[in-house]
Structure 1
């Protein structure tokens, strides 16, 4: 008979007994601290409607591109996982079980194990022979009131959860959640990428809708005013940040006449590739200018080539597992922005990278000088135990701990939120314990830092 899953209480902590003991104590200080999640992608609809999750496959497989991409790489067709086409959820779950061994050692496998054990209370290991039993056990859990989104939100101890929202969203669902008495804050985040990037599908239609919604003329000045109005609307509905997902962290400072001419070209579809690139860079510069003026924290998630495999994009659309990291240059790309705004009072700029080479070479030195710059936590492909340790090693000796953002889970996988934050708390406890054991910081300093990382720091950075 299969033995039940038993999670090691010291998982992810250092192996050396002396260091592990220090790490265990540091971790236990913060293990139950409230979750502050100022950047993520959980749909506000889940909390507003509070409907039961439909089935295990939809919740844990189909919409999690961490999971589907590795299965696809191993020969499983995406439609068989429910991507882009209806699929029998039990059959999807069986496919996961058949390939479960592929996830050994991966962050996504670790998170799924955490969700099955600590959230869902599933004790039996997932194997091809146990797939149906595990599926039925999860389905039974999801039918219980305690496993609806709002109940889980409360159980997870979430103090702040930010969603990611279109600038033209009326935010009524956020208003409804705020009025519902939920025991935590759910904040919208201004995400304007489709209105700023001429290479985004539907860019011109999006700009037309933005101008029409604000009643503004089709000039560059009217376009900027429309964006400013929508930012103010978000602020009035609780937003504290604006998020920008860019392949290249490029900023360009243009004079008003040149910006007007370029806006006319991108809006008419006549701008060449160079013109479109310069326009993107100027709009990232303008977003910084607006953040200085209105106080929204500016986060930049850079360095991902979206939709790398065109046939998959054409068949299944975006966010289906084929986005790939690329090299980035923050030092030169952001210099115009930082020359103008880098030390502006009240401006917070949080820089996220998936290019690990920039941590010690670029991000830590930038954050070590510019008052506005904060180092975003390891993100996407790097929010994993070893990657978090590499991140800490790369940035701490230059920028310390205070110039970071605190952990950002950046997830749509709702059940993984506590697992991801717990992973970061364990990894940081291990890193701090090593510094204590090596005599690099005192224990009481490590305790203060551990406490700060999980709450006060992200609250300061995100103006919470």
Structure 2
């Protein structure tokens, strides 16, 4: 049997004119360090630096890109090790979970998940047979042998993967104790990111409990609107002190319209006193309050220098029953049409020309790249256009992004690539794919005599490394 290998020119242009140019550009940037500032790998993985438990827990269970495809083909989440361990049908045998993944390998053809996963298996774990029902145990054993080696523990993989800096995503009430340990062992390497979303949506059933967590972490009572704002400021300051460089906001709408203080205070008090059985706050009132709080987050960012990462436009937990049973982020989040020009106007009017404020805007609505986001990023110095994210983190979508956004925004108004992943071992695969796609796009500009080769190589290095460093630089 011929050993499974990956073509060195994968994802580069197919035509014979641009491919050699793309190959040269890619080779110049392929080994640049990775700056992974928008990620969701659990900080405890680095703080504890324990061996990964098994191949299924490493590669299958936490990757909702992967599990959602298998679910679409009839698999049940419990069969993939997702959900309460005491629930019906829950599969606790990691080898059996891995067999189900390998048996469904064909379903990933043509998807970015296929590219990422084959890069991981071949380039990282040295697997030499393509996954299938027949080879599942062989692949499992190869990965298991690797992760048993100390050189495959999380901190060692930071070096193996060439990750210079990685951001984690942490709730506003995090004690940041793990980050304190990491700051002593790996200074400047693993940085916290402030994620206040649950606190900015007072209709969520967890809101009152989350307010108490915020109060405990900050030492400031959150029983008043003023105390709520002050507690958020204190926690942001704690994240800055811990090395944090950014905040992360995943609201449904891009609306950032501020409310008069008395109206915001009244809505806060209504949500606070309504309780689970009281009148509570209406959907329209919550939308207005969350938009107002986004403006407040921008105002705080202009004061403390944290970069405001903003990615609205996703209908979270499309199937409520799945969310109730298995929790959020299980592959049932669906993109919706998103409007930015009016939504971001209040924040950009107030802070878009300020040297102290920075926002990176992401979207999963492709239509707004050329119509709204690229023109906005192309004029407001405080706004950068984030890389294709989530469902758009795919070869053809990344090419479309370059073609739709570059002519208006230019390269310098972009954030460079971010990977937005919980699957740690997919990070180098995702960055590698982005570098190949960018090399292909730049090669076409060279072939069309719109860029010289040295300019293309310089731009590729910017997109891969220098722009992310600049976009998230401390101020």
Partner of 1:20: 19
Partner of 1:432: 442
Report how far residue 111 of structure 1 moved.
Answer: 0.6
In the alignment, structure 1 residue 139 sits paired with structure 2 residue 147: no
Alignment partners' CA distance in 2, 1:268 and 1:174 = 35
Partner of 1:353: 363
Provide, for residues 347-384 of structure 1, a one-character-per-residue CA deviation record: whole Å limited to 9, x for no partner.
Answer: 11100000001100010000011111100100011111
Partner of 2:419: 409
Alignment partners' CA distance in 1, 2:330 and 2:69 = 11
Alignment partners' CA distance in 2, 1:294 and 1:424 = 31
Report how far residue 337 of structure 1 moved.
Answer: 1.4
Which runs of structure 2 are paired with 1:49-448 in the superposition (5 Å)? 49-84=48-83, 85=85, 86-87=90-91, 88-181=93-186, 185-212=189-216, 213-216=218-221, 218-269=223-274, 270-448=280-458
Alignment partners' CA distance in 2, 1:132 and 1:146 = 23
Alignment partners' CA distance in 2, 1:108 and 1:268 = 46
SS at structure 2 position matched to 1:242: strand
SS at structure 2 position matched to 1:313: helix
Report how far residue 257 of structure 1 moved.
Answer: 1.3
Partner of 2:277: none
Moved more, 420-429 or 149-158: 149-158
Alignment partners' CA distance in 1, 2:113 and 2:237 = 37
Kept in 1, the 8 Å contact 2:303–2:356? The answer is no
Runs of 5+ unmatched residues, structure 2: 275-279
Report how far residue 214 of structure 1 moved.
Answer: 2.6
Partner of 1:459: 469
Partner of 1:4: 3
Alignment partners' CA distance in 2, 1:345 and 1:137 = 51
Alignment partners' CA distance in 2, 1:444 and 1:135 = 44
Report how far residue 346 of structure 1 moved.
Answer: 2.2
Alignment partners' CA distance in 1, 2:258 and 2:9 = 51
Alignment partners' CA distance in 2, 1:199 and 1:13 = 47
Report how far residue 208 of structure 1 moved.
Answer: 2.9
TM-score (norm 2): 0.95
Provide, for residues 162-183 of structure 1, a one-character-per-residue CA deviation record: whole Å limited to 9, x for no partner.
Answer: 000011111111111121147x
Provide, for residues 289-312 of structure 1, a one-character-per-residue CA deviation record: whole Å limited to 9, x for no partner.
Answer: 000111110010111111001121
Alignment partners' CA distance in 2, 1:349 and 1:181 = 27
Provide, for residues 367-403 of structure 1, a one-character-per-residue CA deviation record: whole Å limited to 9, x for no partner.
Answer: 0111111001000111111111010001001011011
Q: 1:366 to 1:55 in 2, by over 3 A?
A: same
RMSD: 1.2
Alignment partners' CA distance in 1, 2:240 and 2:400 = 36
Runs of 5+ unmatched residues, structure 1: none
Report how far residue 201 of structure 1 moved.
Answer: 2.9
Alignment partners' CA distance in 2, 1:380 and 1:354 = 7
Kept in 1, the 8 Å contact 2:54–2:144? The answer is yes
Provide, for residues 423-456 of structure 1, a one-character-per-residue CA deviation record: whole Å limited to 9, x for no partner.
Answer: 0000000000001101112222212111111222
Q: How many residues align?
A: 462
Report how far residue 216 of structure 1 moved.
Answer: 3.1
Report how far residue 268 of structure 1 moved.
Answer: 2.2
Kept in 1, the 8 Å contact 2:392–2:398? The answer is yes
4+ residue segments displaced more than 4 Å: none
Kept in 1, the 8 Å contact 2:220–2:230? The answer is no
Provide, for residues 251-289 of structure 1, a one-character-per-residue CA deviation record: whole Å limited to 9, x for no partner.
Answer: 121222111111111222322121111000000000000
Alignment partners' CA distance in 1, 2:76 and 2:215 = 41
Alignment partners' CA distance in 2, 1:381 and 1:152 = 26
SS at structure 1 position matched to 2:342: helix
SS at structure 2 position matched to 1:343: coil
Q: 1:292 to 1:409 in 2, by over 3 A?
A: same
